[in-house]
Every structure is written in structure tokens, then in C-alpha cells.
């Protein structure tokens, strides 16, 4: 299987303190579904920041889609980021745009026509229960509504990799299960999915998913594949 994500001996340190992440070795296969669990402060958000290219590691090797992103020129990173859908804990919606336009943003950046955008965004907003809130701006939406807009924006373009940080923390259980079904359906279409959550009930909704657990910055269990058994990824000069 092709590895969409590959970490080799990765460490992350902020400033001069102790490492937040230590000796991470794992690979995520194309089309796989993973949960990332761990207590608060274990390093889940830091690991996700490495995955969506908001942070470079202090040491080690990371490849995404077969490309070395540690030494990659910064000018090439935006094109790679467009292949990744991200659900942030703090939503990061564009405040002056409506819910509709926030969700439509990735499609407009990709040059999709307005008729197609209207069809897709309208359908997805209905799916997440926001059909009547499409014109609302983020400041007028509840936390749960903002979360659903953020999720819709992350999945609208059918990204190759979806990274979600506690994506159901602000919605009720029924909507949480509905959103997990959306992630599962996206995965069935070929997207590799990694969801960070501490909710075992949520994880039970995707029984085929694999689980990784972080504890004090280290992966302590899970059934990720041994990277030693996979061929090395070619390092490319920046």
C-alpha cells in the first residue's frame, strides 16, 4: 500500500524546552481511517500541526504524498496544503464571510464554477443541519454551528487527507454520529482520515478504523504499520 503520511524518528520542540513529541514512527496508508487518542496535553494537536504543515519538526523525516516536506521549499507548501482538509479546534472561519461562502472557499480557490459550487455547498450545509443558516456570518452562529461550518469547509473539496482535531466537541451526540458518518463516507471515497478525539463512543462508530494513542509525546500503542517494512521515500532537495 502507498503511504500518504510517513514519520521517521520525528521530534518536536517549542523553543528551548523539552520535546513535546518524541521519536514518532508511523505510516498512514492511502485510504485508511485512523483515530488519534490521548489525554489533554499528550501532544495530539502538535502532531496534527505537523501533518497539515503548520509546523516543521525539530528533527526526523516526514513525507506527505511521497514528498519530503521537511526540506521542501516554503513556496511549494501552499499547493500541498490544498490537498489536505483540516478541522481546527478553534474553527478559524473567515469572519466577514457567510457560512455558505466559508464552505465554498476551497472550491473557489480551486477554480470550480459557481453553479457547481452552489449545488455542492447547498447539499452539504443541508447534511450538517445548516440549510437555514447559509447566509449567517460566524459571529451570529453558536459554537456547534461554527463547528459544523468548519467541518463542511474541510470536506467540501474531497481532500486526499483529512485531519480533524476534536471535530465533534461542540455538537450533541446525534450530530456527532452524523458527522462521523460523513467522515466515514469520505473515507470510502478514498480520503485518508485522521481524527483526534478522546471519546471512545465516537471511535466505536467506525469499527474498521485503526487507533493510535499518544502519551507524553510518544506513541504507546496502535496498529499503525511498521515503517521499517516499507521502502524508503526518496529525499528531494528543496
C-beta separation of 21 from 46 below 8 A: yes
pTM of the model: 0.88
Beta strands (DSSP E) in 118-172 are 161-165
d(CA 124, CA 127): 5
- Sorted by where each starts, the structural domains of the chain and their CATH numbers stand as 3-219 (3.40.50.300)
| Proportion of the chain above pLDDT 90, given as a percent | 79
pLDDT digits (tens, 9 = 90+) for 158-182: 999 999 999 988 889 999 999 999 9
pLDDT of the residue at 41: 87
pLDDT digits (tens, 9 = 90+) for 43-101: 999 999 999 999 999 999 999 999 999 999 999 999 999 999 999 989 999 999 999 99
d(CA 82, CA 71): 19
pLDDT of the residue at 222: 52
pLDDT of the residue at 16: 86
To the nearest 10°, the Cα dihedral for 200, 163, 10, 35?
Answer: 20
pLDDT category of residue 40 using cuts at 50, 70 and 90: confident
Amino acid at each position: 500500500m502507498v503511504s500518504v503520511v510517513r514519520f521517521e524518528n520525528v521530534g518536536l520542540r517549542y523553543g528551548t524546552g523539552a520535546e513535546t513529541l518524541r521519536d514518532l514512527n508511523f505510516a498512514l496508508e492511502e485510504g485508511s481511517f485512523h483515530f488519534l487518542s490521548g489525554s489533554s496535553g499528550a501532544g495530539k494537536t502538535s502532531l496534527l500541526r505537523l501533518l497539515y504543515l503548520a509546523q516543521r519538526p525539530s528533527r526526523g523525516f516526514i513525507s506527505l504524498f511521497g514528498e519530503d516536506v521537511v526540506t521542501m521549499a516554503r513556496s511549494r507548501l501552499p499547493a500541498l496544503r490544498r490537498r489536505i482538509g483540516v478541522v481546527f479546534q478553534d474553527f478559524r472561519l473567515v469572519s466577514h464571510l457567510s457560512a455558505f461562502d466559508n464552505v465554498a472557499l476551497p472550491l473557489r480557490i480551486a477554480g470550480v464554477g459557481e453553479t457547481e459550487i452552489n449545488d455542492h455547498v447547498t447539499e452539504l450545509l443541508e447534511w450538517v443541519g445548516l440549510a437555514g443558516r447559509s447566509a449567517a456570518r460566524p459571529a451570529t452562529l453558536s459554537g456547534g454551528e461554527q463547528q459544523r461550518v468548519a467541518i463542511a469547509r474541510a470536506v467540501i473539496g474531497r481532500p486526499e487527507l483529512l485531519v480533524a482535531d476534536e471535530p465533534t466537541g461542540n455538537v450533541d451526540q446525534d450530530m456527532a454520529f452524523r458527522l462521523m458518518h460523513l467522515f466515514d463516507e469520505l473515507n470510502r471515497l478514498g480520503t485518508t482520515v485522521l481524527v483526534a478525539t478522546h471519546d471512545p463512543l465516537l471511535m466505536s462508530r467506525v469499527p474498521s478504523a485503526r487507533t493510535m494513542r499518544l502519551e507524553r509525546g510518544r506513541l504507546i500503542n496502535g496498529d499503525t504499520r511498521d515503517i521499517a517494512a516499507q521502502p524508503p521515500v526518496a529525499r528531494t532537495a528543496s
